[in-house]
Chains A and B, each alone.
Chain A
Amino acid sequence: MANSLPSSVKVSPPPIEMERPALVENNRSIGWISDTVAGVIENKTPGWWKITIGLSMLVSLGLPIGLIYLISTGVGVWGLNHPVAWGWAIVNFVWWIGIGHAGTLISAILFLLRQKWRTSINRASEAMTIFAVMCAGIFPAVHVGRIWFDWWLFPLPNANSIWPQFRSPLLWDVFAVSTYFTVSVLFWYMGLIPDLATMRDRFRKVASKVIEPAAKFRNKIAQFLYGLFSLGWTGSNRHWRNYEKAYLLLAGLSTPLVLSVHSIVSFDFAVSQLPGWHTTIFPPYFVAGAVFGGFAMVMTLMIPLVSLYKGLDEIVTVRHLEVMSKVILVTGSIVGYAYGMEFFIAYYGGNPYELYAFKNRAFGDMNWSYWWMISCNVLAPQFFWFKWCRTTPWFIWVICGFVNIGMWMERFVIVVTSLHNDFMPGNWGYYSPSWVDMMTYFGTFGFFMTLFLLFCRLLPLIAISEVKGVTPQADPHHPMGGAKH
């Protein structure tokens, strides 16, 4: 490519081994990018999509069944007991919230850090964030004993002048999660506007060409809806200027949320005084764990998607996967360090109750969960030290699956093993989930996948405008429009 530079520009090319792989492979044109991404929406619905969404919707039925049974009957339908008053619901909540974090990290922090590779994956990960937070939000809302009084957690003026208790981490959760959700939705929607306008324009073009009335009507509707939500975007310079400023501001606003939400979620535990919960390492450890689990989920979703939609593998390349694998390796190691440090402090702190709690995790009745956690979260990512492992999509996918399991186990270990054997041996008990717990959890999977598949089908799952901006062709000095990179 170096010899294609115009002779007037004297740029000595970097050594060939230093050259970064292109973000969009095969030197594709800008038009090709639009066609490929929009093609996912415009083309005929693929068969696998129909099958998958059917399955997802079937699985998601578990959610209403589980919840109606729960609400009509009582929290007793879950496997909770005394002393384990929090079980799968809270585990799932923390797990889903954690998954959301990767999206925000990719879209906000990587944006601020000018990581151009984020553009191919940010849209899908943000969508994942929103859907994950929706799944997460279900659990704290329904896990309470009297669901119909959930609104008491909000500071609403009332005749009794009773306010929520601002010292409770659960209340902080309410604010943290709702803020996080709101900002994430806004951020995502902001980013969608130029692409929605692209879709509007493309459908207008198609609609004017087709004659078959049903197809014409469909295209008109699509055009109208995309048009409605693109808020009159024309792509004028003024629009772009305002857009980019707003995007930057929202990125700045989201950045602290990446850190705060999971820190606050970790306060649910850290602020209590239960051995195994009461530790100051939780906020950074939870954030690292969230990024870790979130990236794993991004790859879990993206790898099959990219191989199923033709052409997307040229936009989401092995380079992207490799970078994300590295993030997983780093955050996985942070999490591993935190596990080790917890044990060290339990030993070094000289509190026998704390020491017991950690021994109990590793060797007690529920040690299986601990060793699942260690294997999945600490050992599995170590494969990513090897280049082959980082660059082989199916292998990455398998490892990411383990990480997802491991992160769920981590929350289970924290929530349940700490509770089941706490201070006074006379109170000790055990916990097993009921089928309702499981059904509700798997239902959220179905719910999540349904939303995600709808997203893929209906919205541009890659930020078209942003990807275009990072192609060489976007550089005005490039022979085909701009300079390299």
Chain B
Amino acid sequence: MNNSKDSTIKQNNGPRHWRSLGHKADTPEFRAFVEKEFPSGVDLIDDPVSRRNFMKIMSASFALAGLGVTGCRRPEHKILPFSKMPENYVHGAPQYFATSMPTRQSAVPLVVKSYDGRPIKIEGNNEFPGGNGGTDQYAQASVLSLYDPDRGLNFKLAEDGKLNVIAKGKVLEQLSGLAHGKTHVLMEQSSSPSRARLVADLKGKGVRFYEYEPIDFSVHADAASIAFGSSVKPIYKFEKAKAILSLDCDFLATEEAAFQNIRDFSAGRRVKDDHTQNPSEVMNRLYAVEGLLSLTGTNSDHRLRIPTGSIIRVAALFLKEALEVSNTQTDGFVDELKDFVGDLNEDFPNSHALEKEGKSDITKWIKECVSDLVRLSSEGKKTLVVAGYRQPKEVHLAAMAMNSLLGNVGETLLLQPIEPNGNGSIEDLASNFKKDDNLVVLGGDPAYNAPADIDWSGIIEKSNKFIRHGFYNVDGTSKKATAYIPAAHYLESWGDARTNDGVLVPVQPLIAPLFGGLTELEVLARISGADEVDPYKITRATFEGIAGEGEAKWSKFLHDGFLADSASETLIEEFDGEAAMAEWRKNAKKVKVPSRGNLEVTFYRDHSVDDGRWGNNGWLLETPNPVTRIAWDNVLLVSLKTAKDLLGEADSKKLLDFEKVDGKDFDPKNMDLPGRFGFHSESGRFYQKVFKLKVGDREIEGPIWLLPGMADDVVGVALGYGRGVGRVGGAKGPLNERTGGGGFSAFEARTTDTQHAASEAVLSDTGSKYEVACTQEQGVMDGRPVVREANADDFDSHKDFVKHFDLDSVHHTTHLVKGDDRGYPWEKDQELKLVKASDEDLPASQYRNNFGDDKVNGPKLMDVERQQWGMVIDLTTCVGCNACVVACQSENNIPIVGKHQVALGREMSWISIHRYFSGDEHNPQINYQGVSCQHCEDAPCETVCPVNATVHDEEGLNLMAYNRCVGTRYCSNNCPYKVRRFNYYDYNRRPMGVEDGERKPGRFFNDDNNLNNSPLHPSNKSSNGEWELIRWYKDPSRGSVPGLDDGKKESGEFDPEWDLIKLSKNPDVTVRMRGVMEKCTYCVQRIQSAKIDQKTKIKDSVSKLDKTAKIAALDVPDGTIIPACQQACPADGVSFGDVSDPSSEVYRLKRQNRNYSVLGFLDTRPRTTYLAKLRNPNTSMPDYFDIPNSVTEYNDKAHADIFDSKKDKTNGKEAAH
């Protein structure tokens, strides 16, 4: 072994670190010394990221920081811990550091949890002004990219057209040697003031700068700047708006800083206390006009389906109506608008839902919507009109005009001055770039995502030096570079940024760059040849320029994670009608109405991979799209009508079992199978026809997917797939030849003119099929009241509606709350005394429980001496954004399983967000419901486990003892909520994207159960070609993934996969092996750690107390324990706490009228309950429904009559039966 060690050290070209001069010399004496000194650890001495070594480095840097001693790798600077942590490092105790994740034009303020110097969990900074600690799914998953084994590990220089590993210094020489006048720098957008400073400096020296973002939100600012006559960006304040009109603006998901919008939108929608509040007065109302079915559309109260390119006509009609209502003098502009609009009703039939037979009436829809907005505005309430980034400036101008007419400017629409940065676009780069100029590309991946009509390879060919600073050295851009510089992850970087509302936030490193990558700031500083290239000092200098000098200020900035009051003051500007009108007249273009032979393609930012930047992030890839519930791939989304046109009636049935929808040959009352919107599968798998999408002369191929609610004759395509980078999501090649997921690249069909929507597209069948991994086959509730909902205007007269569904009795949902067990909560309100429940007050269960047996009254449900944990999920505020799903995955070490396993239905996520359609198959209503373990008091899973592996504790938690589980899976079968997840394979142990010893990205477990899955199979080799069984025999703890000291790739690089996987795990949570059942634990590790903290806190003060008081003192205060899902939820839709404590938030919520248990009639007594969803439709809209569609379905199915007083029994569906 030791002999092989020698050769290993010599061969290893990775970053070398030395402990002493002796080691650096690598003398035999030194080796002998090492072997004597560390007999068992000698193999780790050359291992840059093994845990032990890592600990050594980290603790060394902690110890030495501040003493003026610099580390071996880079200067270390003291980073200040967040307020939660003790001043000194305590082994095993997590530390929290404030930082932020830079995004395109803003940043997400974060607090990152770090164990022993390893960042393992991202949380939102809830100290941030207006923040609630919520984040988006991207931020939650970003920590996994830090441990991405495919990231660039080495500095490289091209020799003979091939990038070879080279010493860092040589690459850096290249940077400083660039001739400024001949250098062009292409960057991604950034809100960093430090970068702006360096760029300005370099511009002065003649370097030219360009910015390119494939998904660019600048249109908001551009339009606002025209509309208000000065350089401003709009900031939308959704929480203040009583009504919101979205013109193709997916502000809840795919716009910048969507998580803040979710927070604000949900805040304006939340009914805090339905005993005292009337929801129809409290809730905001959302009107959405869109071509795709976006998350925003699915959460709207009224939705109009209009192709993306034609929304400008709707906007014009809106503006015209608004101008007319407000009697604004427009010199005939109204008539121009009228001409522009044309006949929407004829062009877009069936564009909104209808309660009864008839035709949709867009004109009425818009009129009523405008009159609602105007009415609110006349009542002094504020509204908001927003346009999406996909829409041209003119639509934004129309929106701004309406906001101005409605008096929203300065209220819900704030204008913040910005400085235009003057950087060029990628087209400018293409035209400016001359032969033998130098090109520097910072971030991005233009070779992949530049508009298809930009000749990127032409630019590269012309270049003299092409220096690439990027996260991956295997992406299309890096491969062509003459020098490659690995980029540091933001958790390894010093930097700064501004959030969407302009607040200055720090980017602090939680960890020294694992592979020595550089930040953008350092690269720029080196190009400029500045003396100071340390990003820490650059950032600090910028900060001092803004906030002034002083250690205290800087420390506070780092500690808090933001600089208070650093946002520029918002302005109140007059809307410049003339300029806007001129702009409209000049540029407003009408797009031909899409039709069968002239489809419109809409490109959109993906929920998982964004524009491709997260394309190798397994957590995101495996998180299903909230609307389509598809993971691992993008698809061609079409509506039902489009599918019928394309495929004919018969074949389109193979996409959706819609013959059951129309009810023609199917009586929904008697024959309810398999239900409306059941997606058609072949034996549970979705083999979709692959279609060729021809846009102009460019073609892409992708699987077709029928999504009810898409605008007709529109094809929706997600960007960001098919980048072909990495072992997780990097599958490439024709779709019909691969199964590993990763989708297809839509950038190939996207040009500078058709960045967001392209018309005159044609779809044609290629004859091949491709499997799509959809996680939800059944799209409707089918009359089952799992999501219960009401219209806000019905709620006051039917406060108890939620208790009348299904076979529930009152006790099924109110048993937890004292005083409510024998009657409706609202009847008990007056007499309810807010005291902690005593033994006698608690209802007895008819079943035996594991605890608290009382011989007289039967077993008690709760041990009142202990805190009783419970959860409430508010379906009204939940928008279905997926942040909780990724947060849970990150917190609880949930493995990714790969596309094939997802297709088989074996995804491991502990929370699944179910999406249900209801009503009209063209214009459905949508509900989301996050379901995780409900922690039933009478848990069906517990009684059937033969080995006692799942048991209850005294605090009401349904526990899983992973070590005891043998994996009979009986618990899963008996779980009515089906929230348990089973490790069908050793998901944590197997190599990522390896099959037959070859890298096949996206392949975790083979597509068919062939013997290759077995570690016994001789052809099943690790990526270094060694038979898995041999590897296992040599080192059983290693799994089958090669580590640092073996498994070298051709280039001599090591493969850090296994070590990085281990580093990324949360040490508080067991990593489950195969054959073990797992599920949501309410983040029991957080509960336990809070209890320990509480004990520590009170340890000195309780000695004098009596027993009762002592027990009371042990109670963890409400709000201290925040499970990962609640923490990440930007909508504040999840509440957790002690349900036996009448002063807790969760108790208060459980006393709400809307509180119900899913499947309450089973009397499993779940501790997680839901607050029913409320919709807030406008009664005068043509798509107003008396009662929500899902309730109609329920009424039909169950012969029930929820909301009876409003139901017209003489017509409609009742009469038919």
Chain A interface (Cβ within 8 Å of chain B)? 68-69, 72-86, 143-147, 149-150, 152-153, 162-165, 167-171, 174, 268, 271-274, 351-353, 356, 359-360, 363-365, 419, 421-432, 434-436
Contacts of A364 in B (CB 8 A): 673-674
Residues A74 and B1074 in contact, CB atoms below 8 Å apart: yes
Picked from B674, B915, B985, B1077, the residue with its CB within 8 Å of the CB of A73 is: B985
Picked from B906, B965, B980, B1014, the residue with its CB within 8 Å of the CB of A146 is: B965
- Considering only CB atoms, which chain B residue lies closest to A365 in the complex? B674
Listed residue (B904, B965, B1159) with the most chain A CB atoms within 10 angstroms of its CB: B904
Residues B943 and A168 in contact, CB atoms below 8 Å apart: yes
Q: A75-B984, A425-B786 are in contact. Are A144 and B968 (CB under 8 A)?
A: yes
Chain B interface (Cβ within 8 Å of chain A)? 671-675, 681, 683-685, 776-778, 780-784, 786, 806-807, 901, 904-907, 912, 914-916, 929, 931, 940, 943-948, 964-970, 972-974, 976-978, 980-986, 1005, 1008-1009, 1011, 1013-1016, 1073-1077, 1158-1159, 1162, 1197-1198
Q: State the CA gap A71–B845 with chains docked (Å).
A: 42
- Considering only CB atoms, which chain B residue lies closest to A73 in the complex? B1014
5 closest residue pairs by CB, A with B: A145-B967, A145-B1075, A430-B684, A426-B914, A76-B984
Contacts of A363 in B (CB 8 A): 671, 673
Picked from B684, B931, B967, B982, the residue with its CB within 8 Å of the CB of A431 is: B684
Picked from B914, B976, B978, B1162, the residue with its CB within 8 Å of the CB of A82 is: B978
Contacts of A147 in B (CB 8 A): 1075
Residues B776 and A432 in contact, CB atoms below 8 Å apart: no
Residues A170 and B786 in contact, CB atoms below 8 Å apart: no
Identify 26 residue pairs between A and B in the complex whose beta-carbon atoms are under 8 Å apart, listed by A's number.
A69-B1013, A73-B1016, A74-B986, A75-B984, A75-B1074, A85-B969, A144-B966, A144-B1075, A145-B965, A146-B967, A150-B966, A152-B964, A170-B968, A170-B970, A268-B970, A272-B974, A274-B974, A352-B1198, A360-B673, A360-B674, A365-B673, A424-B784, A426-B776, A426-B931, A431-B684, A435-B1009
Residues A82 and B946 in contact, CB atoms below 8 Å apart: no
Q: State the CA gap A142–B286 with chains docked (Å).
A: 54
Listed residue (A82, A352, A428, A431) with the most chain B CB atoms within 10 angstroms of its CB: A82
Q: A152-B966, A431-B684 are in contact. Are A146 and B1076 (CB under 8 A)?
A: yes
Contacts of B945 in A (CB 8 A): 165, 168
Picked from A174, A271, A273, the residue with its CB within 8 Å of the CB of B1162 is: A273
Q: State the CA gap A351–B313 with chains docked (Å).
A: 51
Residues B1075 and A74 in contact, CB atoms below 8 Å apart: yes
In the complex, given contacts A84-B905, A146-B1076, A426-B778, what are 5 additional A-B residue pairs having Cβ atoms less than 8 angstroms apart?
A81-B905, A82-B905, A145-B969, A425-B781, A426-B914
Q: A168-B943, A430-B777 are in contact. Are A82 and B965 (CB under 8 A)?
A: no
- Considering only CB atoms, which chain B residue lies closest to A77 in the complex? B1009
Residues A425 and B782 in contact, CB atoms below 8 Å apart: yes
Give chain B nearest CB distance to A26 CB in angstroms: 54
Give chain B nearest CB distance to A127 CB in angstroms: 30
Residues A164 and B784 in contact, CB atoms below 8 Å apart: no
Q: A76-B984, A423-B976 are in contact. Are A145 and B1015 (CB under 8 A)?
A: no
Contacts of B685 in A (CB 8 A): 430, 432
Give chain A nearest CB distance to B653 CB in angstroms: 15
Q: State the CA gap A446–B777 with chains docked (Å).
A: 37
Residues B914 and A424 in contact, CB atoms below 8 Å apart: yes
Q: A81-B904, A168-B970 are in contact. Are A424 and B976 (CB under 8 A)?
A: yes
Q: A77-B1009, A145-B983, A430-B777 are in contact. Are A83 and B946 (CB under 8 A)?
A: no
Which applies to chain A's interface (DSSP): helix, strand, loop or mixed?
A: loop
Residues A72 and B1016 in contact, CB atoms below 8 Å apart: yes
Residues A145 and B982 in contact, CB atoms below 8 Å apart: yes
Q: State the CA gap A79–B946 with chains docked (Å).
A: 23
Q: State the CA gap A356–B673 with chains docked (Å).
A: 9
Q: How many Cβ-Cβ contacts under 8 Å join chain A to chain B?
A: 227
Contacts of B1076 in A (CB 8 A): 145-146
Contacts of B940 in A (CB 8 A): 272-273
Contacts of B973 in A (CB 8 A): 83, 85-86, 272, 274, 419
Give chain A nearest CB distance to B656 CB in angstroms: 15
Picked from A74, A165, A360, A422, the residue with its CB within 8 Å of the CB of B985 is: A74
Q: State the CA gap A164–B905 with chains docked (Å).
A: 30
Which applies to chain B's interface (DSSP): helix, strand, loop or mixed?
A: loop
Residues A423 and B1013 in contact, CB atoms below 8 Å apart: no
Q: State the CA gap A149–B983 with chains docked (Å).
A: 16
Q: A82-B981, A149-B966, A168-B970 are in contact. Are A76 and B906 (CB under 8 A)?
A: yes
Q: A74-B985, A144-B966, A162-B964 are in contact. Are A69 and B976 (CB under 8 A)?
A: no
Give chain A nearest CB distance to B623 CB in angstroms: 16
Q: A82-B906, A82-B972 are in contact. Are A424 and B786 (CB under 8 A)?
A: yes
Contacts of B966 in A (CB 8 A): 144-146, 149-150, 152-153
Give chain B nearest CB distance to A413 CB in angstroms: 15
Residues A423 and B969 in contact, CB atoms below 8 Å apart: no
Q: State the CA gap A51–B1185 with chains docked (Å).
A: 73
Residues A69 and B1011 in contact, CB atoms below 8 Å apart: yes
Q: A145-B982, A153-B966, A426-B786 are in contact. Are A436 and B944 (CB under 8 A)?
A: no
Give chain B nearest CB distance to A21 CB in angstroms: 50
Contacts of A421 in B (CB 8 A): 674, 778
Q: A69-B1014, A165-B946, A168-B943 are in contact. Are A426 and B969 (CB under 8 A)?
A: no
Residues A83 and B978 in contact, CB atoms below 8 Å apart: yes
Contacts of B783 in A (CB 8 A): 352
Q: State the CA gap A359–B782 with chains docked (Å).
A: 14
Q: State the CA gap A68–B1029 with chains docked (Å).
A: 14
Residues A273 and B947 in contact, CB atoms below 8 Å apart: no
Q: State the CA gap A422–B978 with chains docked (Å).
A: 9
Q: State the CA gap A147–B968 with chains docked (Å).
A: 10
Residues B983 and A74 in contact, CB atoms below 8 Å apart: yes
Contacts of A436 in B (CB 8 A): 1009
Residues A81 and B944 in contact, CB atoms below 8 Å apart: no
Contacts of A429 in B (CB 8 A): 684, 777, 905
Residues B944 and A425 in contact, CB atoms below 8 Å apart: no
Contacts of B1015 in A (CB 8 A): 72-73
Residues B947 and A165 in contact, CB atoms below 8 Å apart: yes
Give chain A nearest CB distance to B191 CB in angstroms: 39
Give chain B nearest CB distance to A429 CB in angstroms: 5
Residues B976 and A273 in contact, CB atoms below 8 Å apart: yes
- Considering only CB atoms, which chain A residue lies closest to B914 in the complex? A426
Contacts of A174 in B (CB 8 A): 946
Listed residue (B914, B945, B947, B985) with the most chain A CB atoms within 10 angstroms of its CB: B947
Give chain A nearest CB distance to B740 CB in angstroms: 17
- Considering only CB atoms, which chain A residue lies closest to B1005 in the complex? A76
- Considering only CB atoms, which chain B residue lies closest to A431 in the complex? B684
Contacts of B974 in A (CB 8 A): 272-274
Give chain B nearest CB distance to A337 CB in angstroms: 24
- Considering only CB atoms, which chain A residue lies closest to B972 in the complex? A85
Contacts of B1073 in A (CB 8 A): 146
- Considering only CB atoms, which chain A residue lies closest to B897 in the complex? A76
Give chain B nearest CB distance to A87 CB in angstroms: 10
Residues B947 and A152 in contact, CB atoms below 8 Å apart: yes
Q: State the CA gap A164–B1073 with chains docked (Å).
A: 21
Residues B948 and A164 in contact, CB atoms below 8 Å apart: yes
- Considering only CB atoms, which chain B residue lies closest to A351 in the complex? B807
Q: State the CA gap A300–B1120 with chains docked (Å).
A: 68
Contacts of A353 in B (CB 8 A): 784
Contacts of A432 in B (CB 8 A): 683-685
Give chain B nearest CB distance to A329 CB in angstroms: 33
Contacts of B905 in A (CB 8 A): 81-84, 429-430
Contacts of A271 in B (CB 8 A): 943-944
Residues A169 and B944 in contact, CB atoms below 8 Å apart: yes
Give chain A nearest CB distance to B343 CB in angstroms: 40
Contacts of B1075 in A (CB 8 A): 74-75, 144-147
Contacts of B978 in A (CB 8 A): 82-83, 422-424, 427
Contacts of B944 in A (CB 8 A): 167-170, 271-272
Picked from A144, A169, A424, the residue with its CB within 8 Å of the CB of B967 is: A144
Q: A86-B973, A365-B674, A424-B977 are in contact. Are A76 and B948 (CB under 8 A)?
A: no
